[in-house]
Amino acid sequence: MKLIAFAILALAITAAAQTEVVTTAAQTSKPASSPKKKTDDTGKNPFGTESKNEGPITTEIYADEASFDSGKNVGVFSGHVKVFDPRFNLQSDKLTVYLHKGEEQGLEKAIAEGNVGVVRDRPDPNGGPPTHAVGRSEHAVYTANDGSVELTGMPKVQQGLNLHIATSSETVMVINQDGHLNTHGPSRTEIRQEPKGEKAGSPTPSPKP
C-alpha cells in the first residue's frame, strides 16, 4: 500500500503539543519490550491497542492519499485509512482530523467515515487483562477533550463474548475513555456464555430409574 509522507502536518505541530499527528512511509518498529501482536502490511496491528506512554502522545495515520489545510488546521485522509493512537485504534475509508489552533495544537477531533472499525480497551479493576471493545459502524467521531468515541450508522459493539447491536438507524453508541459503552436508541444485546463441556471421551451418565 502506498503510504503518504505528510511533512507539512508534522511541521504544523510544535514540540509543546500534547498530541502529534504523523504520517510516514516507513514501517515503524515496536520497542523490544512490547508484546508481539498480529500485524498487517504496515507492520502494526490494525485492531490492537498500545500501552500508555509518558510524555507527548503520538498519533500515526496511514492512508493512500492525504491533504492538509494549514490555515484551518484540518487534515483529510482517504483510502485504507488506519490510525494508531495509545487511546484508540481505528480504520476507515476516510478520516478528517481537526487540530487545535494556537499554542495548544494537538488533536482536537477526528471524524471517520465508511467501514469504520474502532478498538478501545477497558481496564480490569482486578488487574487482569483488559477487555477489548470492538465497535463497527459507518460513521464515528472521536473527541479528544473527553476521550469519547461516538458511533452512528447502525453501530454494533462487541465486548468479550457479548454483542450489542443497534436496531434503528437513529441509534447512537458511545464508548467512553475507560471503555464503558452507553447506547441511546433501540438496540439488541446478545449475552453469550461458553458451555462447561465435559472431558472428551467421558461416559454420559445414565438416567436414574
Q: Residue 131: its pLDDT value, please?
A: 76
Helix, strand, coil abundance in the chain, percent, nearest 5: 0, 45, 55
In angstroms, the CA 4 to CA 106 distance is 20
Chunked mean pLDDT (size 10), the chain, 209 residues: 37 33 37 42 46 68 96 95 90 95 81 94 78 91 92 94 94 88 96 71 52
Grid coordinates belonging to 58: 503520538
In angstroms, the CA 19 to CA 203 distance is 60
Pinpoint the alpha helices (H) of the chain: 7-11
Name the residue with cell 507539512.
Answer: 8
Q: Residue 199: its pLDDT value, please?
A: 52
State the burial class of residue 75 (Cβ atoms within 10 Å of its Cβ: 0-12, 13-18, 19+). buried
Contact 80, 64 (CB under 8 A): yes
Q: Residue 11: its pLDDT value, please?
A: 34
